[in-house]
A and B are shown apart, each in its own frame.
Chain A
């Protein structure tokens, strides 16, 4: 259980990277658009918000509310940003992936 909590899942990994790429403008709509544009993955807002909630519980991101906006029906945005623990976890995940990729050559024929 403890291990499961520490490791980043594939989708959590993508969402966390999107948050970093979007800098201070990461929220549901922009994260969804980023995932669609970058890796052609069309995901629902439900999937994004449940992942955001999980990442926040793990302490990898933190969120704040913006001011209420008329184009959102008077509702604020929930802006998210990665914490230092989030950065550390991403780097650790990248290291693990790099290690697993060592000495592997793949091409389109396989």
Chain B
């Protein structure tokens, strides 16, 4: 297989279908009719490889693709952390694994501190190999909030044609609101340790329910909205 065929194959893989054949045709024309006769095979092949890499990176490392990657990585990381934390808490037989200072922060509404606990991350392989108790993931208030906010976000985006920035901000508000409400409850009401479960469940499970649909909507809008990237 010639270098030209390899390069064309790479271009077909990396760039949008609607002009990959135009780019390949142009590349082949310049390679065979202009460069090969003037520069010799070795120099022309080097030019071809350099040019193919340049074409591919132009499309792979576009602002649009980087933004899509960022949204995907952030949302998957958040989902993974939340799911792991819920698993870990439900599996926590002995609360003394965590020190008193941690539980004080927890009752002050700073439940996010759990994400920085080394014991959570140390038990990851064990947690992931356990069987899943699905009832753990169904919490009615969080489910209702998630459904209502998703419908509102979808309707507002459809009727007001939000820009990507506005859509991202609205999504952040929808995601953070339960957490803020939960933190305020912890701050203003003296919630006991045994009563903290439903509040934390609402704070966390709304994020678990919302993160993937919201990031899916956002990535769909990023893909659709080409003008933003011109």
Contact = CB atoms under 8 A, between A and B. Distances in A.
Contacts of B124: none
Instruction: Give chain B's interface secondary structure class.
Output: helix
Contacts, number: 76
Given A28-B23, A54-B230, A46 B28 contact: no
A32 B33 CA distance: 15
B226 interface: yes
A2 to B, nearest CB: 9
A29 B30 contact: yes
A96 interface: no
Contacts of A87: none
Interface in B25-83: 25-30, 32-34, 51, 54-56, 58-59, 62
Interface residues of A, number: 26
A70 to B, nearest CB: 10
Contacts of A29: 26, 29-30, 34
A82 to B, nearest CB: 18
A27 B26 contact: yes
A24 interface: no
Interface residues of B, number: 29
B127 interface: no
A5 B229 CA distance: 10
A45 B26 contact: yes
Contacts of A54: 226, 230
B51 A45 contact: yes
A49 B227 contact: no
B159 interface: no
Nearest to A49: B19
Interface string A19-56: 00000000111001000000000001111011011100
Which 3 A-B residue pairs are closest in the complex by CB-CB distance?
A75-B25, A46-B58, A28-B26
9 contacts: A4-B230, A28-B22, A45-B27, A50-B58, A50-B59, A53-B18, A71-B33, A72-B29, A75-B21
